[in-house]
Structure 1
């Protein structure tokens, strides 16, 4: 059932004035008038907004993690209360913030749907709104959102937002924020694989790839498998969860994929039919021939929206052909494939790891916006800022970070209902 909270306020200071209309989606345009009222509505269901949502998500600025299918898969597997914020001007939707309410230590937090497993969050904004959203307008909108969510949440936590993305400044960049402890890493894709690896150490990359293929052939060969049938998808995702559990256990790390609801989320994504090259989740694997006939040495999950591809996860079986680095080989093959399919960005996601720095030419800083609603929320916001800065400091000291990860892994062996980051 839809629940609506209205809050009309004037957008003064640098109004959204008329100008050349910007295309939104394939078939609609919008011109934003002077000093229009912004209407804020909060929905506890996604369905009433599906048409507008899918129209806005076509924009390349919008993260695939705010796509309708991604959010729906998470909502169905977790059942958290939703608080989807819609902003409109003169009856036209200008933004949607897909939020869910989670409770931590009695504090109700409104965060992006699927936040713990999102690599990048932008919200969904009309290009015309992004173009004309001044700092004063952003602050006015933020105040309206806080008032609209009063009684539902104590704190709005808009996490992992790049304030500079694809040549545009985020409309909320003027709001108070804290740098997220995790940066994201991307590889800009050129016209072909040769031109792409030329940005890196091309000679080393070519040599490594040839050596991997030669070693694979010595074991009987391999194939790059892209799961196509329901049976292949089910088998690969089950194997990924097993491989990842073994890997985390061996490294003394907490297994964020262990909860049933997390596994259900990824299985939900696999049921969404691709739209051309676009898909919320596609499974790739290295399947061995010869002495290890049919065995899977490496698995990765890719998501794609427009020309942006994100690697959501990966795993390897360290018992199989360890001298071939099957995970690295799979990345080479996947990148080569998506280049041929017209992708422009291969995103390795958040988290600073050595293999990402070997591949990536872009490091994207992300920021968290914290909007307290209640007194409890103000205390929580201060705590989250402190925790975020502390995590950033810890991650600059690898020894301390490794110790804390081992401690978390021991705690992770106890039953839990929520994956931790």
Structure 2
């Protein structure tokens, strides 16, 4: 299905100028291969999320067996050149037909793929018209829910501001440095280096410490087993349902296959040959995205802070290798405070398409607002955690959908 429209592609200047009309064509496909050329072109510069990596999404679709009819790839071209691509899938949530990003909350942020420079040159009205036109072909959908889109300012323009209704969400944390020396001197004070050294000495007192980066391959399968076993233990201690104890685990197993097209990097810290901390990362261009981290639950080993010792080595490895960005995802943690020098606000975007979708979007926004208020209040957050742990303890163990 394709439609065409005319929009003004012009800078926002103080004095009016003659509009330069550009033809925008929009089409919907249910097959990723049909939009692959546009996807690759838009992702050539850089991406904000693994969910914008074509190999990542292709593997997700295959592993979770998402039906073709539920795959929606909306493409806008400006004078024949790709301008925007929105990859989403349809699911039913309490009777509401929702379109959302494929990996959901398994990545730190999500976003449409866009030609940001051309989008920024358009005026606010033209961008609003573009998003409206892009969603024009949609049928059989009540609501578009686009979770955790980074606030993206290009030449002073918030290029996603006109994309539906938005709600402030969490913050995305990244380390952005030219090299390891810059990261080290900027983020590690004298007292921080001393503290890291003392933790390292405690760990080394327990035995031989080694660290390595391992790319996807036969050895990775056994490593993932350890990673998810350590994570499961951590979730149990926190009273949280394990988000990997479901079909999404099949996806992570699929990413380490040679044909997946996903550039997986596993960073592994060992003590006397046994894995005590690990990180699962996806590389794209000069960016590295950390999706999962784990460490041993042995109290003796934890005295040496294996998770922090692993991350210290990860940072040096990543920036020594020429990467410019290490993305540590959304939500504040102590390690992000130590290492991340760039913080980006995230927003949830809603586009209701039916009366049912309007009601669902209103309810969901209210729930998300309440969650944010609870997380910002230490007393309410502690109470919520205790309640969550109690409810999880009383629930029967079963695998649910995590996406």
Shorter-chain TM-score above 0.5: yes
Q: How does 1:6-405 map to 2 (within 5 A)?
A: 6-12=2-8, 15-16=9-10, 34-80=20-66, 81-149=70-138, 151-164=139-152, 169-193=157-181, 195-228=182-215, 230-259=217-246, 261-272=247-258, 280-289=263-272, 294-319=273-298, 321-397=301-377, 398-405=381-388
Give the Å deviation of 1:152: 2.6
**Relative to structure 1, is the Cα distance of residues 147 and 51 closer, same or farther in structure 2, using a 3 angstrom cutoff?**
closer
Shift of 1:214: 2.1
Cα deviation, 1:162-181, whole Å, max 9, x if unaligned, reads 12368774522234433343
Distance 1:176 1:230 in 2: 42
Question: Larger deviation: 69-78 or 195-204?
Answer: 195-204
SS of the equivalent of 2:77 reads strand
Deviations 1:257-284 (A, max 9, x none): 111x211111222225799xxx542111
Residue 20 (structure 1) aligns with: none
How far does residue 76 in structure 1 lie from its aligned partner after superposition?
Answer: 0.9
Match of 1:25 in 2: none
- The offset of 1:215, in angstroms, is 2.4
CA distance in 1, matches of 2:394, 2:129: 42
Contact 1:184–1:349 (CA under 8 A) maintained in structure 2: yes
Instruction: Using the TM superposition, name which of 173-182 and 332-341 deviates more.
Output: 173-182
Aligned equivalents of 1:267, 1:166: Cα separation in 2: 37
Distance 2:65 2:123 in 1: 36
- Residues 130 and 170 in structure 1, CA contact (< 8 A), matched pair in contact too: no
Whole-angstrom distance in 1 between the partners of 2:254 and 2:276: 24
- Aligned with 1:403: secondary structure? helix
**Following TM superposition, by how much is the alpha carbon of 1:323 offset from its aligned partner in structure 2, in angstroms?**
1.3
8 A contact 2:203–2:305 mirrored in 1:
no
Instruction: Find the aligned partners of 1:229 and 1:67 in 2 and give their Cα distance.
Output: 16
Q: CA offset at residue 308 of structure 1?
A: 2.0
TM-superposed deviation, 1:405: 3.4
**How far apart are residue 339 of structure 1 and its match?**
0.8
Q: What stretches of structure 2 of length at least 5 have no aligned partner?
A: 12-18
Alpha-carbon contact 1:159-1:180 (below 8 Å) kept:
no
What are the Cα deviations for residues 121-166 of structure 1, in whole angstroms up to 9, with x where unaligned? 23211244223232112211222233311x2311111221112368
Question: Among 381, 385, 389, which residue is 1:406 paired with?
Answer: 389
Higher alpha-carbon deviation: 124-133 or 101-110: 124-133
Q: Do 1:270 and 1:282's aligned partners in 2 also have CA atoms closer than 8 Å?
A: no
State the distance in 1 between where 2:202 and 2:154 align. Answer: 39
Gaps of 5+ in 1: 18-32
> Residues 352 and 324 (structure 1 numbering): CA distance in 2 closer, same or farther, change over 3 Å?
same
SS class of match (1:11)? strand
Question: What SS does the aligned partner of 2:371 have?
Answer: helix
3-state SS of the aligned residue for 1:122? coil
Q: Which has the higher strand share?
A: 2
Q: Is the 8 A contact 2:295 2:307 kept in 1?
A: yes
8 Å CA contact retained: 2:266, 2:279: yes
Q: Secondary structure at the match of 1:182?
A: strand
How big is the shift at 1:86?
Answer: 0.7
Give the alignment's TM-score, normalised by structure 2: 0.89
